[in-house]
Amino acid sequence: MTSHFLDRIRMHDQNRQNQHQENDCLFCLIVARKQSAFIVAETNEYMAFLDTLPIRTGHTLVIPKSHVARLSDLSPTQGAALAKGLTDVARAMEKAFQITGLQVASNQVYAQTVDHVHFHIVPAPLDKSEPSVLSKWASSSQLSLLGRRDELCDDEGEQLSSIMRKYLPNAKL
């Protein structure tokens, strides 16, 4: 009897979590394909997609596919999968955009706009003396962490995500 009761509690909690995912969380809507995104990579455990308000061209988010609000709440398996996603996407970004400098950041509660664990991988400012695939999209507003952030346009999102996917052959879509 006790195990049946515990199963009902677990099912209730899971239903509440699923309800939250579908109704409230932008990233869960993206995972469920109810919100559009320029998806770069996806496995059973993580998803990576371009930020729609990028700090710089190529700004990518890596998230666990299941809804987890805080980094400290990730299971060891989820944490390992997310770490693999971060390294895979960072490696692909370096190759795709011919860069080496990256900024990787995450917020928890403080300055977090979506209550779902996520990491930002942002290409470093371009050295104008070295050619890069990103050069054609670089603008002064995107080369600074401060100031206005322009919305990612559809053409740019399609091109950038397509370029990155070439370097992520094992990440299904």
Where are the chain's structural domains? 2-166
> Taking the alpha carbons of 165, 22, 107, 84 in that order, is the dihedral positive or negative?
negative
Name the least confident of 12-16, 99-103, 123-127, 165-169. 12-16
Residues identified as active-site:
118
Q: Which of 118, 2, 102, 103 is nearest to 52 (CA)?
A: 118
pLDDT band at 142 (very low <50, low <70, confident <90, very high): very low
147 vs 166: which has the higher pLDDT: 166
Share of the chain above pLDDT 70, in %: 71
What does the pLDDT read at residue 132? 55
The mean pLDDT value for 128-150 works out to: 54
The mean pLDDT value for 1-11 works out to: 48
Summary mean pLDDT of the chain: 81
Predicted confidence (pLDDT) at residue 2 exceeds the cutoff of 50: no
HEC string of the chain equals CHHHHHHHHHHHHHHHHHHHHHHHCHHHHHHCCCCCCCEEEECCCEEEEECCCCCCCCCEEEEECCCCCCHHHCCHHHHHHHHHHHHHHHHHHHHHHCCCCEEEECCCCCCCCCCCCCEEEEECCCCCCCCCHHHHCCCHHHCCCCCCCCCCCHHHHHHHHHHHHCCCCCCCC
Predicted confidence (pLDDT) at residue 145 exceeds the cutoff of 90: no
Tens digits of residue pLDDT in 43-88: 999 999 999 999 999 999 999 999 999 999 999 999 999 999 999 9
Half-sphere exposure of 145 (CA within 13 A, CB side): 9
CATH domain 2-166 topology: HIT family, subunit A (3.30.428)
